[in-house]
A and B are shown apart, each in its own frame.
Chain A
């Protein structure tokens, strides 16, 4: 049957008006400003920048406001905007050993050079609702100051690596251009560069669940937090017209180095192995989960059995992106009238046939 699919323009226009009204909400309440979102909902901004794959706090804040706080929608908006920007090139790799550190902890070594710096963390709060925040008093909150932390601190994994107990991070010589999901379609088998970029942009909930699964036994690899560090790093870029590297800005990142046990395998001696997590802003949970999954995805390189979903790169990489996932799930809302009509008439036909010959199915 032919089904006409025209119309709906007026309804669509009206729904745009309705979301605009709902987004603004009660007009007796002051409207949310972008700098309020950026300053006071910073962790939401960090997540949208990371999974939206664009470091721009103002745009991420705008996306959050526009999406009424729907994070996956905000990430989609930022990703879509990102495609409109001309690409000037790629930067030098950020150097996290030169980070201006705001937080730095190790669960593996108590007396790590530079010390354990808690920084801004919810770890030692009681997770009780603070009703004081429900009142909007204008009281200024000032954090205490003390002796400044060391300007730079050695990475814990570099200290262990120097003792030869740790799987080395290697570079090819000469170095290949890294994979770029913004420009290239996913391909398998995926090298570490593609896996890390995919996990960086991957949905926090999905990556967290997979990381959790490895801890519960689905690809266990006995992790320790070697180090988490958070702070500011410089971004260095060589404009082609200048021909020499210049610093073009500063970004806040979180890095997690996971240390994992490894019993050894055929031709590989026992050693610590590593998982790496990185994210824009203060995104500690995401980086920890990413490091667990990064390690799990090394299964085949280390000769481990690949029995569980977190070790299966096609399963992980193909399903981590929430823009793609939401898109494919959401497409089910589009009109499928014709498809459904054909299914309906087929089902009616089958049922009619079955009724004509009663008892035959049971006999088979």
Chain B
């Protein structure tokens, strides 16, 4: 699902990609990957975790006029690290899980540093393949319910 054209156009595509993977990950999976990071940094809050909502929008007919659909709960926070105070890690993640938002913000910060490759391998890559696997399984189950039409040919006498 990361083929969203708006994401592709933006120059921060790399960061948008990993922030999306972190936000869409299951909380337990993110926690598990986060625990494999060796020596997580000391951080301080720039913005304490806050639970709020965004109004999701849709389009009439899928393509037409925008309309307000309904809200979705979201948790956001921002951190900086004691060792690199110029780097800011942000998180905007669906739901009300404060631990998930915290882990996502710390990963976002680390991914902007020289530890990028390590975090990518330990967190982003496993979460991305888990999501891919989840979608594939869902599509395979849907695929089993695909209708095979066959046409009866009437014998002409």
Residues of A at the B interface (CB closer than 8 Å) are: 49-50, 53-56, 58-59, 82, 85-98, 100-103, 110-111, 115-120, 143-149, 151, 155, 157-158, 161, 168-172, 175, 178-182, 191-194, 196-197, 200-201, 231-232, 234-237, 239, 241-242, 244-251, 255, 257, 274, 276, 278, 280
In the complex, which residues of chain A have a beta carbon less than 8 angstroms from the beta carbon of B7? Answer: 236, 245-247
B139, A247: Cβ atoms closer than 8 Å: no
Contacts of B10 in A (CB 8 A): 244-245
A106: min CB distance to chain B, Å: 11
Q: Closest CB-CB distance, A290 to chain B, in whole Å?
A: 12
B4 / chain A contacts, CB cutoff of 8 Å:
95, 98, 234, 236, 245, 247
Q: What are 13 A-B interface contacts by the 8 Å CB criterion?
A: A85-B51, A89-B55, A98-B3, A100-B138, A115-B146, A144-B141, A168-B64, A181-B68, A197-B67, A197-B68, A234-B1, A234-B20, A234-B24
Cβ contacts under 8 Å, B66 to chain A = 93, 171, 175, 178, 193
CB distance from B142 to the nearest CB of A (A): 5
Q: A116-B146, A158-B63, A249-B23 are in contact. List 18 more A-B contacts (CB 8 A).
A: A58-B96, A85-B53, A88-B76, A90-B54, A92-B57, A93-B66, A100-B138, A169-B65, A175-B66, A178-B66, A191-B65, A196-B67, A200-B67, A201-B70, A236-B7, A239-B92, A244-B10, A246-B23
Main secondary structure of the interface of A (DSSP, over half): mixed
Complex Cα distance, B143 from A151, in Å, reads 11
B146 and A146 within 8 A (CB): yes
- Nearest neighbor of B64 in chain A, beta-carbon distance: A169
Which one of A98, A116, A145, A161 has the greatest number of beta carbons of chain B within 10 Å?
A145
Q: Is the CB of B92 within 8 A of A93?
A: no
From A85, A92, A171, residue with most partner B Cβ within 10 Å: A85
Chain A residue numbers with a CB within 8 Å of B147 are: 115-118
Chain B nearest Cβ from A22, distance in angstroms: 28
Contact B62 A155 (CB under 8 A): yes
Q: How far is the CA of A245 from the CA of B5 in the complex (A)?
A: 11
Contact of B31 with A by CB under 8 A = no
Cα(A169)–Cα(B63), bound, Å: 6
Give the residue of B1, B58, B140, B144 whose beta carbon is less than 8 angstroms from that of A98: B1
Contacts of B146 in A (CB 8 A): 115-118, 146, 149
Chain B, interface size category, equals: 35 or more
With CB as the reference atom, state the residue of chain A lying closest to B139: A148
Distance, CA A110 to CA B142, complexed state (A): 18
The 3 closest A-B pairs by CB, nearest first: A249-B94, A169-B64, A247-B20
Selected from B2, B11, B71, B139, the residue in CB contact (under 8 A) with A55 is B71
CB pair A249–B144 under 8 Å, yes or no, is no
Least Cβ–Cβ distance between B17 and chain A, in angstroms: 9
In the complex, A155→B68 CA distance in Å? 21
B84 to chain A, nearest CB (A): 18
Docked CA distance A61–B153 (Å): 51
B16 at the interface (CB under 8 A from A): yes
For A161, list chain B residues within 8 Å (CB): 63
The distance from the CB of A87 to the nearest CB of chain B, in whole angstroms, is 6
B71 CB to nearest A CB, Å:
5
In-complex Cβ contact of A251 among B51, B56, B67, B149 (8 A): B56
With A100-B135, A103-B142, A276-B60 known as contacts, the answer to whether A242 contacts B90 (CB < 8 A) is: yes
